[in-house]
Structure 1
Amino acid sequence: MHPIGHFYKVTEPQRCTRIDTQPWRAQQTVLNADIHQPFHGYHKAGKVTPFKHSEAAMPAPALTGPQYLREGLKLVLSPGLRLFVLLPLSINIVLFCGLIYLALHQFELWVDTFMPTLPHWLSFLSYILWPLFVALVLLMVFFTFTVVANIIAAPFNGFLSEKVEAVIRGVDESPDFSWAELVAMVPRTLAREARKLGYMLPRMLGLFILSFIPVANIIAAPLWLLFGVWMMAIQYIDYPADNHKLGWNEMLGWLKSKRWQSLSFGGIVYVALLIPVVNLLMMPAAVAAATLFWVRERGADALPIAHARD
């Protein structure tokens, strides 16, 4: 009997073991270290029976993105990985608090110096300047917080991806944090980020020019959207790829070979990062999701990081 998504195997009279072949239904299956390992069924007595079957049913490409992001969010919220999320976020918050305090202090000094130079009848301006200043600060924080968070988190993301993969593969459920290991990854991570900019900026310039060409500019908007989605896939899947020392061109070639899965993943990340405040949590979740994408979609070719570095 073959109901949709399941196989049934009779192991003894009147005893039946059901094996769920839709791996996204169980987090345990999603976090399996190797998707080519056989799934297991459980008898009533609790014994595990391996069951080899044909390739497990995978989600349709258009659905894989949301599923990966959901599982990535679960991963970064797990106790063993929270530190790797909270640390860059805390650095960003402390930095902004310090900048806001400095801006308030300097503005107060400027107001105290400027207001005595005005006629007395203009003293009411102090009640207008402060609200305007606060509104300006809030506006700047809103538009720059995420950008600065991305810059600060860049060295952490490769590190986070490595630790997430250790959890996914069952090597270590609670990886230790090491400043020395993090610092050692910074030069390579920043060099890879520069490579991404070198790929992105010329194409953005081409789209920008296309936007001003009559008739041709009709397709500029959808191309901008498609390029943004594609860059989200590149941005985050590059972290596990770089950890495995996969070259830039090889990484692009692999993503192109899984074009629809990559666009599905990039699309949901693109949408999630547009939501203010929520996007702060979505950034590390996207790193974890991309690592899960790498392990699951790369399959047997995705060697453990320790081997990839040898």
Structure 2
Amino acid sequence: MTGHEHQSASVSPVGSPMAAFAHGFSLPMRAVNLLLTTRGLKRFAALPLVFNVLLYVLFLAGAVWLIGLIDVQVGPWEFWWGFGGWLSTAINWSLGPLKWLVAVPVLLLLCYYTFTMVGLIVAAPFNDMLSERVERAICEPKEKQSLPLRVTTALMVQSMLDAIGILGRQILWTLLVLPLIFVPLVGFLPLFLVGAHFAGLGYFDTSMARNNLRNRHKAPVLRVHRWELLGFGVAMQLLFLIPFVGLLMLPVGVTAGTILYTRIDWERALREAGLERPTGFIPPRPRFNTE
């Protein structure tokens, strides 16, 4: 890695909104390259992936078992000289397959729209370990700070609350745009963009929360980099649509979010926002260019 040029991080977005979107869109591929070429990262990438996949396998197995227990039937109908009985039998016969025709797409959609945020919350310790290792691989070593256990615990709780807050906002916006799904041709787009926005935000937030940045510190950077985050989120949502490949995207997203985090001049961002460094925060200093 010593052959790479030193990176000049900046709080400014990459050129125009279109260029910023394209840069964000390319982040997952940069993350894949970093994971494959940096020694020692793969095992940390596997931890959140395995944990989240196992969680969803258990969820799907439980859901399938519960749905299988549901026995939906209509009672016997007696009218039209036996026609009612035949009709009720035919309906009962079709309700079984119909139950699964409805349940399977609903379960798949539920997994698609929750996999990222649930993974970022329940696998948070593993995501933090991966993000920290990625930051170490990219940046100059940090001076170790010894914080009291009380402060460390409070910061961890606050980070989890931030992630839950993002999930809550995603659920709210999803419910607001969900009725638009019935609009022909373009009805899916608002729902997709909501998912993309919160995917980019969630992956980026892993590094910010791990470094003790709170919402007031994040807000100015999120505004400036909104197009990069949207491009990043759109790329992640599209990759997640690829069968089986989508399951691998959790560590890729965490890595990509960390790459974006290290590219930002946080000293300048906080100074321009009139904010002081939060407790325990040490700005990243990249050793090489990840572009």
TM-score range, shorter chain: 0.5 to 0.7
How large is the RMSD of aligned CA atoms in angstroms? 4.7
| Greater radius of gyration (CA) | 1
SS in 2 for 1:133: helix
Partner Cα separation in structure 2 for residue 226 and residue 128 of structure 1? 36
Matched residue count: 235
Is it true that 1:138 corresponds to 2:101 in the alignment?
no
Q: Distance in 2 between matches of 1:205 and 1:152?
A: 17
* Residues 274-285 of structure 1: pairs in structure 2 closer than 5 A: 278-285=245-252
Instruction: Give the match's secondary structure for 2:70.
Output: helix
Post-superposition Cα deviations, 1:73-114, rounded to whole Å, max 9, x if no partner, equal: 45399234212211111111111111211221232xx55xx6
Q: What is the distance in 2 between the residues matched to 1:205 and 1:140? A: 15
Q: CA deviation at 1:276?
A: 6.3
State the AA in 2 paired with 1:105.
L
Q: Distance in 1 between matches of 2:132 and 2:195?
A: 29
**Residue matched to 2:65:** 101
The Cα of 1:239 is off from its aligned counterpart by 1.4
Q: Is the 8 A contact 1:85 1:284 kept in 2?
A: yes
Structure 1 residue 289, shift from structure 2 partner? 1.1
* Structure 1 residue 144, shift from structure 2 partner: 1.5
- Pairing 1:52-91 to 2, within 5 Å after superposition: 55=8, 61-73=20-32, 75=35, 78-91=42-55
Matched, 1:308 2:273: no
SS at match of 1:168: helix
Moved more, 80-89 or 253-262: 253-262
Q: 1-side partners of 2:98 and 2:132: how far apart? A: 49
TM-score (norm 2): 0.60
DSSP 3-state at the match of 1:163 = helix
Structure 2 residue 215 is the aligned partner of structure 1 residue 248: yes
Q: Aligned partners of 2:6, 2:207: CA distance in 1, in Å?
A: 29
Runs (5+) with no aligned partner, structure 1? 1-28, 30-38, 42-51, 172-182, 212-220
Task: Give the Cα–Cα distance (whole angstroms) in 1 for the partners of residues 114 and 250 of structure 2.
Answer: 12
Cα distance in 1 for partners of 2:100, 2:21 equals 43
Query: TM-score under structure 1 normalisation?
Result: 0.56
Partner deviation per Cα, 1:89-145 (whole Å, 9 max, x = no partner): 1111111111211221232xx55xx67788763434443222212212212212212
Could you list the runs of 5+ residues in structure 2 that have no partner in the other structure? Answer: 138-152, 181-187, 270-278, 283-291
Change (3 A) 1:82 1:223: closer
Q: What is the deviation of 1:290?
A: 0.5
Shift of 1:69: 0.5
Q: How does 1:195-214 map to 2 (within 5 A)?
A: 195-196=165-166
Name the one with the larger strand percent. Answer: 1
Q: What is the Cα deviation at residue 241 of structure 1?
A: 0.4
CA shift for structure 1 position 65 = 2.1
Q: CA deviation at 1:258?
A: 3.5
Closer, same or farther: CA 267–252 of 1 in aligned 2, 3 Å: farther
Please list, as runs of the form range in 1=range in 2, the aligned pairs for 1:1-310 lying within 5 A after superposition.
29=1, 39-40=2-3, 55=8, 61-73=20-32, 75=35, 78-107=42-71, 121=86, 122-150=88-116, 152-170=118-136, 187-196=157-166, 229-273=196-240, 278-298=245-265, 308=281
